[in-house]
């Protein structure tokens, strides 16, 4: 919960009107509602879990025999290499598209009811963002438990490290989604914009191929892509140090710091857009 706490404190100073305890209940209200609504829609649960698993099996097996990312050696199959990227894909999709509920709340009228309640805007941001992040986190976690099937061994320490990486990435992406969704009134528009952002983000995160064999500019994009660091942090939990070195994976601690920074920045951004006055 590091990101959440950090986010609360930093952004809290920007909205000094309410004390922390006054924020807690409203935040919980919006957070719990987000989770309840998700669970009540089995289609959403199935879709967001099923798609990446299918993707992983089909793509991973298909490429398995023909495609070897450079530096990987022959000890790892592509199914194994591709696994952490699949986890991040789940997180990416769930966390970002959970922000669709922000648009729905606005168009359906629920948000108006929240805006006329004595709720600090920061509570709205935290409730919605953490709700979406929790959905991404839990689904990432479920997939993570399949790691042994992908030929990856998971130590206890590695598990907690992986949880941290997944959670931080979820918070960052959920806040990113909120940032875009807050002002939008069309779910279709949000879909279009986010797809434009999400696919390059995911493809160039090292999920598909490692940076070592890529051209200069692709590598540059991968270096500034925050998801790269989420994935690096996650790989840190799944591969021992020697294997990481062979695969050309960066320092997971540095990656975790970058992801934390990304999460805080996105939360501040979300708090900023939500704090601006509504349009007439």
Partner 1 sequence: MAGQPASAVRRASTAAVRLEGLTLRYGGRTALDAVTFDVGHGELFALLGPNGSGKSTLLRILSTLLRPGSGRALIDGVDVSEAPAAARHRLGVVFQAPSVDGKLSVMENLRFQGYLYGLSGKALTARIDTLLERFALGERRRDMAGKLSGGLRRRVELAKALLHRPRVLLLDEPSTGLDLPSRQAFWQTLDELRGEDALTVVVASHLMDEAERCGRVALLDGGRLVAVDTPGALKQELGDTVMTLEASDPAALLELLTQRMGLQGVVQDGTVRLSGTADPALAPRLLAEFPEQISALRLGRPTLADVFLVRTGHAMATEPEPAETA
CB of residue 104 to partner 1, shortest distance in Å: 10
Residue 113 interacting with partner 1 (CB under 8 A): yes
Sole residue written with tokens 């009107």: 17
Instruction: Tell me if residue 177 falls in helix, strand or coil.
Output: helix
CB 122 within 8 A of CB 12: yes
State how far the alpha carbon of 255 is from the alpha carbons of 128, 144, 200, 223, 235, in Å: 25, 19, 19, 11, 10
Residue 118 interacting with partner 1 (CB under 8 A): yes
Sole residue written with tokens 């450079």: 70
Q: Which is nearer to partner 1, 117 or 149 (CB)?
A: 117
Residue 18 interacting with partner 1 (CB under 8 A): yes
Q: Which is nearer to partner 1, 52 or 120 (CB)?
A: 120
Residue 188 interacting with partner 1 (CB under 8 A): no
d(C-alpha 208, C-alpha 81), whole Å: 8
Residue 116 interacting with partner 1 (CB under 8 A): yes
Q: Which is nearer to partner 1, 124 or 256 (CB)?
A: 124
Residue 29 interacting with partner 1 (CB under 8 A): yes
Q: Which is nearer to partner 1, 32 or 145 (CB)?
A: 32
CB of residue 6 to partner 1, shortest distance in Å: 24
Instruction: Please tell me the chain's helix, strand, coil percentages from 3-state DSSP, rounded to the nearest 5.
Output: 80, 0, 20
Q: Which is nearer to partner 1, 115 or 257 (CB)?
A: 115
d(C-alpha 137, C-alpha 167), whole Å: 5
Q: Which is nearer to partner 1, 42 or 148 (CB)?
A: 42
CB of residue 159 to partner 1, shortest distance in Å: 33
Residue 107 interacting with partner 1 (CB under 8 A): yes
The residues near 221 (Cβ < 8 Å, ≥ 6 apart) are: 200, 204
State how far the alpha carbon of 111 is from the alpha carbons of 62, 115, 124, 160, in Å: 45, 6, 9, 35
d(C-alpha 223, C-alpha 169), whole Å: 16
How many CB atoms sit inside 10 A of residue 73's CB? 11
d(C-alpha 236, C-alpha 252), whole Å: 5
Q: Which is nearer to partner 1, 40 or 74 (CB)?
A: 40
Q: Which is nearer to partner 1, 31 or 83 (CB)?
A: 31
What's CA 104's distance to the chain center, in Å? 20
Residue 17 interacting with partner 1 (CB under 8 A): yes
- Choosing from 114, 173, 247, 271, the residue that interacts with partner 1 (CB under 8 A) is 114
CB of residue 193 to partner 1, shortest distance in Å: 21
Residue 110 interacting with partner 1 (CB under 8 A): yes
x-or-dash pattern for partner 1, window 119-148, by CB under 8 A? x-----------------------------
Give the binding site for partner 1 (CB under 8 A). Answer: 17-18, 22, 25-26, 28-30, 32-33, 36-37, 40-41, 106-110, 112-119, 185, 277-278, 280
């Amino acid at each position: 919960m590091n990101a959440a706490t950090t986010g609360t404190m930093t952004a809290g100073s920007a909205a000094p009107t309410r004390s922390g305890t006054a924020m807690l209940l409203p935040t919980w209200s919006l957070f719990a509602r987000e989770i309840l609504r998700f669970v009540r829609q089995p289609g959403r649960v199935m879709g967001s879990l099923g798609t990446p698993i299918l993707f992983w099996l089909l793509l991973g097996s298909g490429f398995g025999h023909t495609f070897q990312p450079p530096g990987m050696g022959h000890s790892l199959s592509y199914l194994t290499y591709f696994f952490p990227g699949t986890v991040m894909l789940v997180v990416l999709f769930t966390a970002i598209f959970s922000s669709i509920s922000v648009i729905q709340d606005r168009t359906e009228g629920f948000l108006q009811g929240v805006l006329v309640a004595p709720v600090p805007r920061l509570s709205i941001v935290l409730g919605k963002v953490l709700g979406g992040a929790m959905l991404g986190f839990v689904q990432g976690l479920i997939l993570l438990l399949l790691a042994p099937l992908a030929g990856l061994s998971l130590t206890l320490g590695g598990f907690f490290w992986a949880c941290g990486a997944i959670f931080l990435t979820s918070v960052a992406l959920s806040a990113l989604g909120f940032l875009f969704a807050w002002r939008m009134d069309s779910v279709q528009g949000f879909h279009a914009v986010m797809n434009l952002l999400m696919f390059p983000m995911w493809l160039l995160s090292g999920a598909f191929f490692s940076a070592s064999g890529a051209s200069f500019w692709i590598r540059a994009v991968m270096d500034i892509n925050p998801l790269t660091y989420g994935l690096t942090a996650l790989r840190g939990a799944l591969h021992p140090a020697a294997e990481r070195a062979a695969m050309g994976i960066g320092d997971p601690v540095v990656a975790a710091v970058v992801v934390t920074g990304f999460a805080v920045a996105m939360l501040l951004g979300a708090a900023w857009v939500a704090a601006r006055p509504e349009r007439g």
